[in-house]
Amino acid sequence: MQTLAVDHPLVAHKLTTLRDVRTDSPTFRRLADELVTLLAYEATRDVRVAEATVQTPLVPARGVQLASPKPLVVPILRAGLGMLDGMTRLLPTAEVGFLGMIRDEGTLQAQTYATRLPDDLSGRQCYVLDPMLATGGTLAAAIRLLVERGADDVTALCLLAAPEGLKYLEQAFSDISAPIKVVTAAIDSHLNEQGFIMPGLGDAGDRLYGVV
């Protein structure tokens, strides 16, 4: 598994404001959207392309276009929805699937309550959107589901990651040959006793959409 913590001043600036408890939900949503677009730029460096020729106003020109099958973007509900627009801004032709997963706060294990994905993902590159990589259980379950359906390349985009979660993913996918990559704005210090990232930014879903 590969991990990339994006080192860029704009990423750090936006993340700092997201961490601030004084940042309201509308501002948080806007900044999260902008931050995801910056992360997506790095996450798609290995997106598959095919050679193509187009006609310019002057002469034919050789270039590339996204290859088929199209990439699949998979936000994990509900917080992952706050990352979707930022991702599809760079990949407007990508298809979008959805996974509804929730962490049991007692066991810290992920439970799936909704799935909207193609049954066959053979040969597909997938991009999973989950703001917080904390214990790693939810993201691991999502990635394994995609791989079991045939995905052969999975990249996860996270606003923040904890060392414990990254270690969990490495162990969980030691038997997987498909490339697994995590792209994040920062790797924080540790998890607290409740499984929250420290210093973190709080509950991403609540800060995006309010407490419901």
Numbered residues of the known binding site for uracil: 197, 202-204
Q: What is the 3-state secondary structure (H, E, C) of the chain?
A: CEEEECCCHHHHHHHHHHHCCCCCHHHHHHHHHHHHHHHHHHHCCCCCEEEEEEECCCCEEEEEEECCCCCEEEEEECHHHHHHHHHHCCCCCCEECEEEEEECCCCCCEEEEEEECCCCCCCCEEEEECCEECCCHHHHHHHHHHHHCCCCEEEEEECEECHHHHHHHHHHCCCCCCCEEEEECCECCEECCCCCEECCCCCHHHHHHCCC
| Domain boundaries 2-209, CATH class | alpha beta
pLDDT given for residue 107 in this prediction: 64
Positions marked catalytic:
103, 107, 203, 206
Q: pLDDT band at residue 111, thresholds of 50, 70 and 90?
A: confident
Q: With pLDDT > 70 as the criterion, what percentage of the chain qualifies?
A: 96
Q: What is the pLDDT of residues 143-159, one digit of tens each?
A: 999 999 999 999 999 99
User: Domain residues of the chain, as ranges?
Assistant: 2-209
Numbered residues of the known binding site for 5-phospho-alpha-D-ribose 1-diphosphate: 78, 103, 130-138, 203
Q: What is the pLDDT of residues 186-197, one digit of tens each?
A: 999 999 998 899
